[in-house]
Amino acid sequence: MARTATLTFEGKKIEFPVIEGSEGELGMDISKLRAQTGLITLDPAYGNTGACTSAITFIDGEKGILRYRGVPIEQLAEKSNFIETAFLLIFGHLPNQEEALRFRRRLTDNAHLHEDFKHHFQGFPTDAPPMAILSAMINTLACFEHKFLKIGDNESFEEAAASLISKVRTIAAYTYRKSRGLPYVYPDPNRRYVSNFLHMMFSRPYQDYHVDEDVEDALNMVLLLHADHEQNCSTSTVRMVGSADASLYSSAAAGVCALWGKLHGGANVEVLEMLEKIQTSGMSIEDFLKRVKDKSELLMGFGHRVYKNFDPRAKILKAACDKVLAKIGIKNEPMLDIARRLEEAALKDSYFVDRKLYPNVDFYSGIIMKAIGIPLNMFTVMFAIGRMPGWIAQWREQHADKSTRIARPRQIYTGPTLQDYVEPDKRA
Ligand code: SDX
């Protein structure tokens, strides 16, 4: 029997259908609310509002569960790699051998940038924020890859998806090289995704460059942990822009801009700066947490709109820190020690416990990226590289849904009521 929710307003009872998701989540369908009652809902940060149904990622924030297409994140982190996970998110299943080979070939064939791209890099100052360059250069892809501005079929979509996932990595590496005055390193067709990224970032011309397998595995895991997270701020931005039938590039570039925010993907930089500030100031953990409780600071990397329990990604990253640092030969990382002490103190403190504030994905990710040698100002770029498959998957799902309409929220107006124009000589 179909479930409904009843709204009583001004003596009128209106029934709204209740839909149930595959994991038992319930949503009241209010698409007829305004027509039937004249009311709209008001939910400024959309904390109670579902924008869509989706079959890509499931999160249970109370239990700390995260699954990509039903596969637990813990299993993917242990057994999969970034590109296989990207395929799973975008196409809905783990690739068979032929699909994996075809997707890898598309990534390899699309790794390079048009030679004229370099002129655009030349225009940026060496201290330009990498996320500003990234969003600009993803938009610039639209100037060089007209064929992907209108995606007509699965074949061109798969090519466009592979191209964007591959090129975002090249753009990131070139951004880093330009900022250091280093020559660009072309993608190496014989390297796998992460190894190729590290090669383009750190290798020197005319020298062999070997990627440590443990580093490659660690970065594969960091990227796949970031690959999707249902309707977060940047993904909702991608969907919003995509709903206007804007191109995949415009939507992804907009996603980069939203992710840059320090409350979102930009938090991974803020966490390291917070840890470094505690270390250099000599401030005690207790003193710092006091500042947080006085609301003079945020405990960056803590808290989440959905997780009211441990972010499962933070658990995996925390466990990986020791292993990765040991394998890279880093015996003592003071940032990890401070992070651990902060977490331990916060999780015993009623201020954080009562507000259900736990470490999120950004709390430990930077420690691993720092150990790998990724510069601090590139941390959020790494988040964007990781999230690109999720944005593409969500954009594709929205475009495939024939009921998709342009997103256009309403408002409640609270400004001046009707008033006439005042001639300049009659104004106060
Ligand atoms: C990501 O949405 C996603 O899925 C995002 C993400 C993804 O994969 O896409 O998971 C990635 O963005 C992770 C979040 C990274 N951001 C940070 O680490 C920044 C620090 N965190 C906070 O800014 C905050 O926790 C948010 C933004 C993450 C969530 O904010 P909410 O849901 O709006 O929480 P809130 O502001 O309503 O907080 C409730 C209470 C408030 O205190 P009171 O008003 O009740 O006294 O908790 C406090 C807040 O002040 N609080 C914090 C805090 N986070 C919330 N206090 C100190 N430090 C914090 N980090």
**pLDDT per position as a tens digit, 374-388:** 999 999 999 999 999
Report the nearest-CA residue for atom 56 of ligand 1.
Answer: 298
Look up the pTM and report it: 0.97
Q: Torsions phi, psi of 407, nearest 5?
A: -75, 125
Q: Which of 48, 259, 298 to mutate to test the pocket of ligand 1 (most atoms within 8 A of CB)?
A: 298
The token pair that represents 316 in the structure block:
């995996």
- Angle at the Cα of 77 from the Cα atoms of 379 and 316, rounded to 5 degrees: 70
**pLDDT band at residue 265 under the 50/70/90 scheme:** very high
Alpha carbon distance 184, 335 (integer Å): 31
Report the nearest-CA residue for atom 27 of ligand 1.
Answer: 263
pLDDT at 202: 97
pLDDT (tens digit per residue) in 105-151: 999 999 999 999 989 999 999 999 999 999 999 999 999 988 888 88
pLDDT at 406: 98
Alpha carbon distance 384, 130 (integer Å): 11
Output the DSSP codes for 8-29. Answer: EETTEEEEEEEEE-TTS-EEE-
Is residue 362 among the annotated active site residues? yes
Report the nearest-CA residue for atom 54 of ligand 1.
Answer: 303
pLDDT at 84: 98
CA of 232 to the centre of ligand 1 (A): 12
**Which residues have CB under 6 Å of ligand 1?**
229, 232, 263-265, 267, 292, 298-306, 355, 357, 360-362
User: Which residues sit opposite 7 in a β-bridge?
Assistant: 14
Return mean pLDDT, the chain: 96
CA of 17 to the centre of ligand 1 (A): 32
pLDDT at 359: 97
**pLDDT band at residue 1 under the 50/70/90 scheme:** confident
Give the percent of the chain with pLDDT over 90: 94
pLDDT (tens digit per residue) in 342-377: 999 999 999 999 999 999 999 999 999 999 999 999
Alpha carbon distance 359, 314 (integer Å): 6
Ligand 1 atom nearest to 45, measured from its CA: 33
pLDDT at 151: 82
Residue among 337, 362, 401, 425 flagged as catalytic? 362
Is residue 93 among the annotated active site residues? no
Collapsed DSSP state (helix, strand, coil) of residue 411: coil
Average pLDDT of the segment spanning 266-286: 97
Average pLDDT of the segment spanning 218-233: 98
pLDDT (tens digit per residue) in 43-57: 999 999 999 999 999
pLDDT at 6: 97
Ligand 1 atom nearest to 360, measured from its CA: 13
